[in-house]
Structure 1
Amino acid sequence: MDRTPLLVLFAIAWLLPTTLHAQDATAPATQARSAAASPGLLFDTLASRYGVRGDDEIADEAAQKARIVELTHALPPNDPVRSARLDAYRCITLLDGPDASLSRAETGLAGRPAQREPLVRMEYLMCKAYALFDQGNRTDYIVPVNEVLRLADRRRYPRLRSGALFLRSFNESDQGRYAQALTTLREVLALDRTREAPNATLRTEVMIANTFIDLGFNERAIAVLRALEKNARAGGQSGPLQMVLERLGQAEEQSGRLDAALANYREAAGLARSQGGHDSHASLMLRIAHVHVLAGRLDDARSAREEADRSLFRSGSTEAMRARRGYLDARIALESGDAGRAALLLPDVMQRLRDDDQPQPLVDALDVQARAYRELGQWRAALDAREEQIRLRTQLDQRMQREQARVLAAELALSRETADKLRLLRQTDAQRLQLQAAKREQRLRLIAIVLLALLLGAVAGLLLLTRHRLRGARYDAMTDSLTGVVSRRYLLDHLARMLSDRHGAALPLSVLAIDIDHFKQINDRFGHAVGDEALRRVTEACRRALRETDEFGRLGGEEFLAVLRRTSLAHAEHLGKRLCEVVAALTMDDVTPGLRVTISIGVAEAAVNDEGADKLLLRADAALYEAKNSGRNCVRVAPENQAGFRATRGG
Structure 2
Amino acid sequence: MEMTRLLRKTSLLLALVLAASSGVAAEPATQSTATSVATASAQPSAARFDAVFAEVIGPGSMDMTWEDYEARLQQLRVLLPQGDRKREVQFRSVYCTSERWKDPKQGLAYADEAQRRAQAAGDLASRGRAQYCRIGYVQELEGAGQALLEADRMVSMLENSSESQLLGEALTERGSLLSQQGEQAKALLDFQRARASFRQAGIDHEIDSLMLWIAITYRRIGDWTQAERYFTHSVERMQDKQDWDRVITDLVQLGYLYDESGNPQKAKASFARAIEVALAHKEPLSAANARVGLAAAQVSLGEHDAALASLAQARAAFEAESRHGNDDMLLLLTGQALAGKGQHLEAMDRYAQALPLIEKDGNQRYLALLYQARAASQEALGNAGQALADYKRYSTLQTSLQGKMRLEQSRLLEYEYEIRKREFENHRLRAEANTRKAQLKALERVRGWQTLALLLGVLLAVLTALALRQRQRTRRLRTLAMTDPLTEVASRRAIEKNVEQALAEAARTQKPLTVLLLDLDHFKTINDRYGHAAGDAVLRATTVAWQAQLRGRDLLGRIGGEEFVVVCVDANREQALMIADRLLDATRTLQLPDIDPALHVRTSIGVAEALPDDTRESLFARADAALYRAKHEGRDRVEE
Q: Is the 8 A contact 2:358 2:366 kept in 1?
A: yes
Normalised to the residue count of structure 2, the TM-score between the two structures is: 0.60
User: Can you give the 5+ residue segments of structure 2 that lack an aligned partner in the other structure?
Assistant: 16-41, 433-467, 484-489, 499-551, 557-565, 583-640
Give distance in 2, aligned partners of 1:130 and 1:52: 20
Give distance in 1, aligned partners of 2:375 and 2:402: 20
Which of 68, 72, 78 aligns to 2:73? It is 68
Cα-to-partner distance string for 1:161-191 (whole Å, 9 max, x where unaligned): 1221122113322432110111111222344
Cα-to-partner distance string for 1:501-536 (whole Å, 9 max, x where unaligned): xxxxxxxxxxxxxxxxxxxxxxxxxxxxxxxxxxxx
Q: Is the 8 A contact 1:166 1:185 kept in 2?
A: yes
Give distance in 2, aligned partners of 1:167 and 1:104: 20
Q: Is the 8 A contact 2:375 2:390 kept in 1?
A: yes
RMSD: 3.9
Change (3 A) 1:146 1:302: closer
Larger CA deviation: 283-292 vs 183-192: 183-192
Q: Is the 8 A contact 1:2 1:358 kept in 2?
A: no
Give distance in 1, aligned partners of 2:157 and 2:302: 53
Using the TM superposition, give the Cα deviation of residue 261 of structure 1 relative to its aligned residue in structure 2, in angstroms: 1.7
Paired residues for 1:355-394 under 5 Å: 355-394=360-399
Give distance in 2, aligned partners of 1:66 and 1:442: 47
Q: Which residue is 2:213 aligned to?
A: 207
Cα-to-partner distance string for 1:255-278 (whole Å, 9 max, x where unaligned): 222232222212222333344443
Using the TM superposition, give the Cα deviation of residue 303 of structure 1 relative to its aligned residue in structure 2, in angstroms: 2.6
Q: Which residue is 1:182 aligned to?
A: 188
Paired residues for 1:206-605 under 5 Å: 206-318=212-324, 320-415=325-420, 430-431=474-475, 438=490, 439=494, 444-445=555-556, 446-447=566-567, 454-455=577-578
Cα-to-partner distance string for 1:112-148 (whole Å, 9 max, x where unaligned): 7743222232233223333323323434444554444
1:173 paired to 2:179: yes
Q: Which residue is 2:5 aligned to?
A: 5
Code of the aligned partner of 2:318? L
> SS in structure 1 opposite 2:66?
coil
Using the TM superposition, give the Cα deviation of residue 155 of structure 1 relative to its aligned residue in structure 2, in angstroms: 8.0
Larger CA deviation: 329-338 vs 107-116: 107-116
Give distance in 2, aligned partners of 1:111 and 1:413: 40
Change (3 A) 1:352 1:214: same
Question: Which has more radius of gyration?
Answer: 1
Q: Which residue is 1:95 aligned to?
A: 100
Q: Is the 8 A contact 2:176 2:213 kept in 1?
A: no
Change (3 A) 1:219 1:179: same
Code of the aligned partner of 1:351? P
Cα-to-partner distance string for 1:343-401 (whole Å, 9 max, x where unaligned): 34322222322232221111112111222222223222221111111011111122222
> SS in structure 1 opposite 2:8?
helix
Code of the aligned partner of 2:393? E
> SS in structure 1 opposite 2:142?
coil
Which of 103, 117, 121 aligns to 1:115? It is 121
Q: Which residue is 1:55 aligned to?
A: 62
Code of the aligned partner of 2:269? A
Change (3 A) 1:457 1:303: farther
Give distance in 1, aligned partners of 2:114 and 2:382: 60
Change (3 A) 1:44 1:370: same
Give distance in 2, aligned partners of 1:10 and 1:337: 38
Normalised to the residue count of structure 1, the TM-score between the two structures is: 0.59
Change (3 A) 1:240 1:192: farther
Q: Is the 8 A contact 1:81 1:120 kept in 2?
A: no
Q: Which residue is 2:515 aligned to?
A: none
Change (3 A) 1:383 1:59: same
Code of the aligned partner of 2:331? G
Q: Is the 8 A contact 1:108 1:114 kept in 2?
A: no
Code of the aligned partner of 2:390? A
Change (3 A) 1:170 1:136: farther
Q: Which residue is 2:144 aligned to?
A: 138
Give distance in 1, aligned partners of 2:77 and 2:157: 27
Change (3 A) 1:338 1:147: closer
Q: Which residue is 1:104 aligned to?
A: 110
Change (3 A) 1:113 1:291: closer
Change (3 A) 1:204 1:154: farther
Give distance in 2, aligned partners of 1:112 and 1:245: 39
1:125 paired to 2:131: yes
User: Can you give the 5+ residue segments of structure 1 that lack an aligned partner in the other structure?
Assistant: 16-35, 460-651
Cα-to-partner distance string for 1:235-263 (whole Å, 9 max, x where unaligned): 22212111111111111221222232222
Code of the aligned partner of 2:276? G
Give distance in 1, aligned partners of 2:201 and 2:167: 12
Give distance in 2, aligned partners of 1:394 and 1:310: 36
Larger CA deviation: 193-202 vs 225-234: 193-202
Q: Is the 8 A contact 2:175 2:190 kept in 1?
A: yes
Change (3 A) 1:444 1:233: farther
Larger CA deviation: 269-278 vs 389-398: 269-278
Q: Is the 8 A contact 1:57 1:239 kept in 2?
A: no
Q: Is the 8 A contact 1:55 1:197 kept in 2?
A: no
Q: Which residue is 1:84 aligned to?
A: 89
Q: Which residue is 2:549 aligned to?
A: none
Give distance in 2, aligned partners of 1:245 and 1:134: 24
Give distance in 2, aligned partners of 1:330 and 1:129: 31
Using the TM superposition, give the Cα deviation of residue 210 of structure 1 relative to its aligned residue in structure 2, in angstroms: 0.7
Q: Which has the higher contact order (CA 8 A, sep 6+)?
A: 2
Give distance in 1, aligned partners of 2:416 and 2:10: 27
Give distance in 2, aligned partners of 1:95 and 1:125: 18
Change (3 A) 1:331 1:401: same
> SS in structure 2 opposite 1:290?
helix
> SS in structure 2 opposite 1:337?
coil
Give distance in 2, aligned partners of 1:89 and 1:377: 56
Give distance in 2, aligned partners of 1:277 and 1:342: 30
Give distance in 2, aligned partners of 1:322 and 1:237: 28
Give distance in 1, aligned partners of 2:263 and 2:223: 15
Change (3 A) 1:298 1:197: farther
Give distance in 1, aligned partners of 2:2 and 2:62: 25
Change (3 A) 1:228 1:378: same
Give distance in 1, aligned partners of 2:478 and 2:377: 67
Code of the aligned partner of 2:401? L
Using the TM superposition, give the Cα deviation of residue 200 of structure 1 relative to its aligned residue in structure 2, in angstroms: 7.3
Change (3 A) 1:322 1:131: closer
